[in-house]
Every structure is written in structure tokens, then in C-alpha cells.
Structure 1
């Protein structure tokens, strides 16, 4: 069968930082079946790093097929730009809405690409091209934000384009990666359509999660001028450390489901994700952490906890995959959800104490009694964490989240005694 010209997949090694060719991807003539083959040189070198521990095991000789995402393997879809990045590529390169995801994968800038993979047409990676991507620096961001606040022309036009949303961009949320020494930050500004200050809400909730003892990504919040409306959150990226990129795989890939795509939502499940974590060698503390995040989302009303808002990354020091810090944890500001995006127990997304505890052993708890004890302690920690961050909210957000906390805690303590 006729296939497309191959694309080569490169990996930055987690031990030395050297770029190596991992394998080859091709798409058949139907445009619906993809094939990935690990490079013999990669396998013969004895590298033990599967780029996707669930869907792409280290197998020699035979290609591994993919049918999801129009034939793009899950971890390669992870490396594709999100909806905002796709719209920028469409504008720059004139791609149509029907372009295959592999086209976006090839055209995406390696500067802010997610994870440790890169794509090219050459069997060998171009080290110079991969190793020195140009990113805006944190001082440039601050200068551009000030210019936006003062309604001055762009200081850095490319950065301004990535920070500004226009009606023609389809409503996707703008974002950009900036660098500050060895740290990399994902920056997201407020949108005119936001009903509340979403960047501030995300920042304080991330701090709230940390104050409650959970592993949440570090964020910072910036605004320019009192009442200016210019509000920006930046989140520390977990897949970068200086020049070293870190392998990462989304929860959607681990669950072998598509996102976006309602057809796959039946398999979106916290208990299943916790089971997969243990199957790939993550420690028990990670599946317990996932349980705690599920409860936190239920309490604060974050129903945007879809599979791409969960992920794992590879720890070279520990020689295993670990749950990443929590990111994109943003409560629904318009109403209190009764369901989460992921099932809290097998087959049910609705928020209740019974559902949260039903499949507790899938998370690694010895019994439901142990899970109940953990839940009660966690609810106390969430309440205490709110007291730490309460003053960081504006008056309106404080009123919203105080009521949300009380309602969420009450809901999970109804008919329940530890």
C-alpha cells in the first residue's frame, strides 16, 4: 500500500541530552492508518526508553499501527500544537481545516513544543536546529505587557501576536512560552470574553492546591495597573529544565482515548488512569495523589479535568514515569458542576461521596475505610489551604470560591462519618 513520505521522530536523551533518532512515522494512502517503527539503531543501542509506555512498547521489526487521531500515534498527537497553536500555524502557512495532524506536527516550532520529541524529514536530527530555539525572555514579556497596558505599539510583534486574541482566531485561548534563565513558563492572558479574571483564578487555585499539600505546578500572576483588566498567569513547565527536555505523555494517551472527541469519553476515568499509573511503574503515592486531585476538583467545581489536563513525565533520576504536577486547574466560574469530565468511579462522572469511595482500591487504598480516612484528612487540608490563599482573591472571586468551598465540602460530607 502506498504511504506518505516518512517523518522521523527524534528524542533528546534523558541521560546525556543528546538528540537521537527514535523511529519513523508514515501515513497510508487512506489517510487514516499510521505506522511507527522504532529505528534499529535505537533498539540496538540498548536505550530502554519507550516514548509511550502504553501504546509504543519497545518492539523490533514490526511497525505499530495507529487509528486514533486519523492515524497519528497518541504520543505524537501529544507533541502537536494545541488549538491555539494550530490556528497560528493555519494563519502562517495557510493550512486548511482538513489538514492532517501530522502536517501541524511537522510545522510546529520546536521552541515551545511539549515533551522531549521532535519531528523532521531527515533520518538524522539537525542538532543545531533542535538545540537552539529562540524564545522570548521574561523581561521581554514584562515589557510587552506594559506596552499593552499603555496601549502602545508592540515592542515584540511576534510575542504580541501570541498574546492577543482576535475574533478570527476562533476563540482559542492564547498562550506563549517564555524563558527565565533555566526556567520555562507557559503564559496565558485574560480574554475579553472571560466572565471573571481567569488568570488570577487559576493562579490562586494552583497555590491553593499546594497549600493543601498536593503536587501542583508553580504559578505566578501579573497585572498592569489597578483596574486595567490586563491579567496574566504564568505556569512553570514541568517538561523543561534548562536545555534538557523531559519526556511527557498525556492522560489521553495513557487512557488510549481521543481528546477532543466525545466518542472516547466513555473511557475517561480516574480509576482507570490510576490503574495505568501503577501498571507503568509509577509509585503508589502517584495514584493516591490522583485520587486527591479528583477530590480537589470535585470540591472546587473544576469540570475541565479532561484527559489532556493530566500527564506523566519521565524521571531519569528514578528511572521511571511519574505523575506530573497538576496544571490547568480552573474552577467553572459560571455554575457549580455536578459532574467531572473524568469518571470518579467506573461508569459514573457524578460527584458524590459514594462514587468517590466506590473504586478506592483502584487507587491503591487497602480498603474503603483507609480511603475514608484519607478523604476526611484531605477535606480538612483543603479547608485549611483556602485560609492560606483567601486574601489573594479579589472580593468577587473570594465570594465565589468561599461559597464553592462550603458547598463542595458539604456535598462530600453528607451522610458520611470517618
Structure 2
């Protein structure tokens, strides 16, 4: 694609599901900056939806200049492939790690982007329907993903072609989307390089978090692949409610920080994210939920909690952005981490009870005592509900997580306040 030719940005309306042109993006390669402006027709129609309420507020139609990601605005970077999808595009189109972020935007195609945005080179939207394999193809799909990851020849040429046309949005692990009626699921198989059964672990952790009263994305675990069964986990996509595309933003966008590759990791902070949730109109319960997720990650040792593994989703029925269900919550399988990727208190990523409580006001607690009560009730629930999810783990993972739970509870208990 030419870096001088502007791209039109389309949005699937949250109310009717119709597509409309929301704005235009252009890139200046000489200065490595990008510009986005809301379309005059979008402004004149009085549409209320900012595609990014922090960086691209509808109250200021632009042009907005971006220097992050080599000049790609955060909301558009969210709509680009991440590690796995970028690798597929590199293989297909000869891109390299040095290719600019905006070069991946159009190549990814609109058939299965994250969120509700799409792009094109013409003013009028022309966006294909969601196009992913059915859940009945999960066995073949899992085998094909492994073949792709290992750079082997296609097991199923037609399926390989389809997967290459809809590169996955997030993470480094091989994954793809399947549909079951109006439900869309992200499929992640176990890898030969995994030191533990990661799909099984992720599903069990989801069940654990849900049992403790937190909102986690629904998951399902199964064996797939026929004669040589593979461990496979699928996660219900919260950006695809009832077969529609929902506006979605990563915490990296909300925090105005770059991931991966950013130098501003000081912005990777749970208290900062809680304040931003309040700023964009999310209810206090979302900040409390974020606090609980932070504590849960600390206890189970999920240090892959970087800002692209948190998100918000626009709820049209409420006319506001809400904290999205928790996703990609996987304890470090190799060692018990001392630090999270996101800071528990401003400037401090170390896992401790003191840090978890230090910035309690940012999460909307009216007093330190209220934060302490929520923390201790959650710790009791985490310990209590572990028994209910032990059968999901199997002996090996149970040994790992029993030890992890013991260490995590000790770190977060009253005994460690001093």
C-alpha cells in the first residue's frame, strides 16, 4: 500500500449495525507521524461515538496527530494484528519487523478485526461479513495452527488459505476465531514448546476467577485433533456480541502508552487505569473489579498482565464504556514472579499487600479500611474456591498452583503488612 494514500476508517454502528465512514487517516513518512480527522458527515450527523474517548474525542474533531507506533493512532493500532497475525502477514507479503505499523493495517483485512473498526481506500464503506470457520472444524483448525506455527506444509490447504486471510489480532501464540451460531470464540491450542498445559491452565484460572465473583470471558476446554489429541482452549470474544462488532479499546490506548516496544512503561499502572476508567464514564464497580483482578493476578502469579491484556468495550445499552471481561489470565508456569507487568501502586510493580493498598483511593474506595475489607474478602474467596477448580487442573498443574496459591496468599496476607 502507498503510505501517501489516505485510508478511510469505518465503524459498525452500535445501535443499528450499519457501517458508516467515521473518519480519514493519513501517514507522513518523512516525519513518521499520522493524522486522523473525523469525517464532516459524521460530525454533522451528530453521532455520539468517539472511537477513542481519550486520544480521539468526538468533541474535538481533529486533525489528531500521532507519533506512537510510527504514526498510527492507538485505536487503529488496536485494530491491527499483534505478534501472531503480524508474523502471518510477514510470511504472506514479505514484510519485516522493520515494516511500519500502518503497513499492516490494510493488509490484515476487515473480515475479522478486533473491535468495530474497519479501513479501506474508498470513502464509502464496503466491509465483508464476519468470515471465520465453524466450531465443528476445531479439530482440523488446531492441527493447522500447529502446522503454521512450525512452518510446515498445510494439513488442509483450503483452511490454511482462510486462516491466512484473517490473521488473529492478539498475542504471540497461534490462534484463530471460530463461530458457533452468533457466538465467536478465540481458539488456542497447546504448543510443543509449552512447559505446562497452558490451555487447560487458562481455562481453570478463568473458572477460578469467575467463582470468586469477577467477570472473566467465558472459556471452554476440550481435547481436539483426532488420533493425537491436543489440549485446546477457546475463549468467547466479548467484541462480537450476537454476531456484531463492538467498539473495543486496549488499556494501552487508554493509558497512552505503547505496547510492545514503548519506553514509557511508567504508565503501565493499575491505579492509573482505574482513574482513566472513571474519566471515560465507567461506573465505580469497574474500578473495584480492576482492583480485584490486580490482586488475583498477584496471588496466582500472572505477570503477563501488560496493558494490551486489559481492555474496555462500549456497551450500547448503557451508552458508555465498560471494563471488558478479563482475558489472557495465565499464571507464569515456570517460576513464581515477584513483579507484575502493571504497577500495583504508582511506580512499583512488586507484588505485596502494601503495594496493593497504597493507591486505594484511585480505585474509588472511600477509605483504606474499605479497600482492606475488599482485599481480605477476595483472598478468602480465592482460597475457598480453589478446591472447586482443582479437578480441572490435573495432578501436575494442581501441584504447581497449590504451591503458587500458598505463596501468593502469604504475600498478600496481613502478616506481610510490615
TM-score (normalised: structure 2) = 0.92
Counterpart of 1:403 in structure 2 is 403
Cα distance, 1:148 vs. partner?
9.6
Give the Cα separation in 2 of the matches to 1:408 and 1:115. Answer: 34
1:148 to 1:371, Cα distance in 2 relative to 1, 3 A: closer
| 1:310-340 Cα distance to aligned partner (Å, 9 max, x none) | 0000000000000000000000011001110
Counterpart of 1:301 in structure 2 is 301
User: Secondary structure at 2:263's aligned position in 1?
Assistant: helix
1:254-293 equivalent positions in 2, closer than 5 A:
254-293=254-293
Counterpart of 2:150 in structure 1 is none
Confirm or deny that 1:333 pairs with 2:330. Answer: no
Unaligned runs of 5+ in 2: 147-152, 165-170
Counterpart of 1:168 in structure 2 is none
Cα distance, 1:118 vs. partner?
0.1
Cα distance, 1:172 vs. partner?
3.7
Whether the 8 Å CA contact 1:131–1:243 is kept in 2: the answer is no
Runs of 4+ in 1 over 6 A off after TM superposition: 146-149
Cα distance, 1:131 vs. partner?
4.0
- Equivalent pairs, count: 405
Query: Out of 112, 119, 141, which is 2:138 matched to?
Result: 141
Whether the 8 Å CA contact 1:251–1:307 is kept in 2: the answer is yes
User: Secondary structure at 2:85's aligned position in 1?
Assistant: helix
Give the Cα separation in 2 of the matches to 1:12 and 1:3. Answer: 25
Cα distance, 1:102 vs. partner?
1.4
Give the Cα separation in 2 of the matches to 1:60 and 1:414. Answer: 48
1:125 to 1:391, Cα distance in 2 relative to 1, 3 A: same
Cα distance, 1:388 vs. partner?
1.2
Whether the 8 Å CA contact 2:269–2:346 is kept in 1: the answer is yes
Cα distance, 1:162 vs. partner?
5.1
| 1:353-407 Cα distance to aligned partner (Å, 9 max, x none) | 1110010010000011100011110001111221111111121100000110111
User: Secondary structure at 1:185's aligned position in 2?
Assistant: strand
| 1:167-215 Cα distance to aligned partner (Å, 9 max, x none) | xxxx941100111100000011111111001111111101111011100
Cα distance, 1:224 vs. partner?
3.8
| 1:226-271 Cα distance to aligned partner (Å, 9 max, x none) | 9946111100000002331100000000100000025121110000
Give the Cα separation in 1 of the matches to 2:124 and 2:38. Answer: 14
RMSD: 2.4
Confirm or deny that 1:363 pairs with 2:363. Answer: yes
Whether the 8 Å CA contact 1:257–1:267 is kept in 2: the answer is yes
Give the Cα separation in 1 of the matches to 2:408 and 2:61. Answer: 52
User: Secondary structure at 2:289's aligned position in 1?
Assistant: helix
Give the Cα separation in 1 of the matches to 2:144 and 2:189. Answer: 14
Cα distance, 1:138 vs. partner?
0.3
Whether the 8 Å CA contact 1:38–1:59 is kept in 2: the answer is no
Cα distance, 1:278 vs. partner?
0.3
